[in-house]
Structure formats: structure tokens, C-alpha cells
Amino acid sequence: MAGIYLDNAATTALDPEVFEAMKPYMLNHYGNPSSIHSHGREVRTAIEKSRRTIAELLNTSPSEIFFTSGGTEADNTALRCSIEQKGIKKVLTSKIEHHAVLHTLQHLEKCGQIELDFVTLDKNGSVELDALKDWLSKNPDSLVSLMHGNNEIGNILDIEEVGWLCKQYGVVFHSDTVQTMAHYNHDLQEIKAQHIVGAAHKFHGPKGVGFLYINNEHKIHPFIHGGAQERNMRGGTENVYGIVGLAKAMEIAYRDMEEHQNHIQGLKDRMIQKLKAKVEGVGFNGLCEDPDKSLYTVLNVCLPPSDMSDMLLFNLDIKGISASGGSACSSGSDVGSHVIAELGKASERPNVRFSFSKYNTAEEIDKAVDALAEIYEKKTVG
């Protein structure tokens, strides 16, 4: 498809190398992995090999990796099963979490299962660790769910520090790591989380497959019943070629991580500088300009007031630029971004999330900036 794709936080293009790894399991190796005959056994072997690959990359045991349909199912499984089976009554999260976490916890609160609190955020949307410590000291036997990298503004949580704090106070720690998985190194011997999650389509793998890490010291019962698959943890026939693709995509991402980080951070820096030069009054939400505190893949741009704010994404699309106003998982909603609203940004200032991948080029960044500048040239409210 023609055009410039800058919405990689929503989903990424499938890596051809991943597709080649998946293809035999789409065409030739079609046995049910639960079958005991040779057709089933060869497919079961592929699943377990994939599990070992992911576990090795994350420095953990294969017995702690469970395959799911994606990040949303993984988040729901970790949160709902922990709360219901461990008798947890108090939960802390933030108001800028992905809806897979936020809506799940709000539903459980509405049903009377938990009391839900929200951690204090600073003006840029970062967690105030002193406030977190204070809450932890007052709420033993509770659960904390805080995402590693915000999918809209890109802020990065000090996941190791939060994990150690939760361990110190005996609190269950769950982190939605969908935006950082395979973009950063996750050493699960250093990250003291009971649960983290991944979704293959965020790092050039297939859609519809992900995984949940469950620490062996925090075992839970299944969320989806109906079969003995995934060592009795998730009913349903496994998405075999998806799992193979997930493992291959992670393997490639870890193999080439430093190269891709440098390339993509360079694109992000280039866009920041060119936007400042060509769009008067431009700003950046969260900690986007700080490479040490924000995702190198995400840039959330705050633009000047304009009489065409509501049509900005449409106008970019006409010019062949694919970007987002926020989480693609909330598309179709006219309420705007809950993350931007929580930051207190004026509604008349349009916000656009540009997100990058290894396939983007400097030329594409220049064209995207020129397109945005042209849209604004005669449209800015004076």
C-alpha cells in the first residue's frame, strides 16, 4: 500500500523473515498439537521450541510463559485471576493505563470486587514514586498495575524500581509491557513482577497472538476454560503458526535491537527538530523529548489551535500519512484520548501520535513534517 505509515504503536508490518518461519505451519504442518500421533507431535514440538526461545530471551523458565490471543487477554487473565483467586481487595493503577487494564479494573470495582485507587502523576504523566511508596506502606496484600511504556505519550516507568518496591511491601505487581516488549531488554530475574505481557504484532510479528508471563511463585488458575492446553492454563487449540511467528519476531528483535534502537531514535529526533523549525508553536506531550525517559518509538505532538483540528488526521491521510490521535484500540470513540485529557491539555489543541519502526526512513519523516506544515500554513487560528 502506498503512503507513509507512522502508526507503529498500533501495529507493525509483518517481517518477511517471520512470515517464512510461519509458512510451513500454515501449509504443511497442520496437526493438532494436542494429538498424540506424529502430525500432532511435530506441531507440539514447534510450540515448545517457541516457548523456550521466548523464555531464554526473557531470562526465565519456559514453565512461566503462556500463549494467549494478545495483550488484552493476557492483561485480563493476570488481573482478574490474581484478584479473584488471591482474595485481593485493594488495587492501585494510573488513569493513563491502556484500557485493557483500566477498563478491566473499573469493571471489577463496579462489581464490588475491589477498591480501586489511582497513583499520583506529575504534570508530564509520570508516576510519583514517593506517592507510590506511601500507598504501598498502607495497603499490604494488594495489587499494583502500572504499564512499562505508555502507548500514547511514550513515558517509561522505572519498572525495576517499582518491582522492587512492590516486593518489599509484599504486593503483587503486574505490568502491561506491550509497548516495550522486544523493543527493550526484559530480564525477568531483575524485574520483580508477577506478570508481564507481550503482543507479537507490536514488534513485526502476526496479529492475534501474545503471551503472559506468570511467575512460578504466583500461580493462578485459568481465565479461559474448555481444555487442557497451555498446561491447563488456557483452553482452546493453540494458534500454532502465530506462536511460531511470535517467537521468531522476538528472536529477530533481540538480535537486531541496538541497531533498530539507534535507527528509530534518530528518526524521532529528526522529526522533533524539523517540527520545531517548520510548525510554530508546536509542543510535545509527556516526556517525548527525553530519550532516557520515553519510548524511542513514540512521539506525541501537541499542535497549535486550528480551525481544522477535528480534520487533522483526515487531512494527513489524504496526503498519504498514517498517524493516530491516540490508541488504535479505542478507534470509533469520539470522547478523545483519556491520556491527553488526564494531562490537562486544552481540547482546542490537536494532538497527533507518530510512531516509528525499523522500516521507516529519514525521507518519510521529512515528507510527513512537510505535509503537516503545509496543512497548518494557512489554517492556524490567529
The helix or strand, by DSSP H or E, that contains position 371, with its residue range, turns out to be: helix 362-376
- State the burial class of residue 254 (Cβ atoms within 10 Å of its Cβ: 0-12, 13-18, 19+): middle
Strands (DSSP E) along 313-362, which ranges? 321-322, 351-355
Q: How far apart are CA 235 and CA 38, in angstroms?
A: 22
Active site residue 329: yes
90-93 vs 115-118, strand pairing mode: parallel
Q: How far apart are CA 246 and CA 225, in angstroms?
A: 23
**Which is the catalytic residue, given 81, 111, 166, 329?**
329
Query: Are 83 and 114 contacting, i.e. CB atoms less than 8 angstroms apart?
Result: yes
The sheet with strand 283-284 has its strands ordered as 283-284, 298-302, 351-355
Q: Which residues of 338-369 are buried (b: 16+ CB within 10 A; e: fewer)?
A: bbbeebebeeebbbbbbbbbbebeeebbebbb
Question: Which residues are identified as catalytic?
Answer: 329
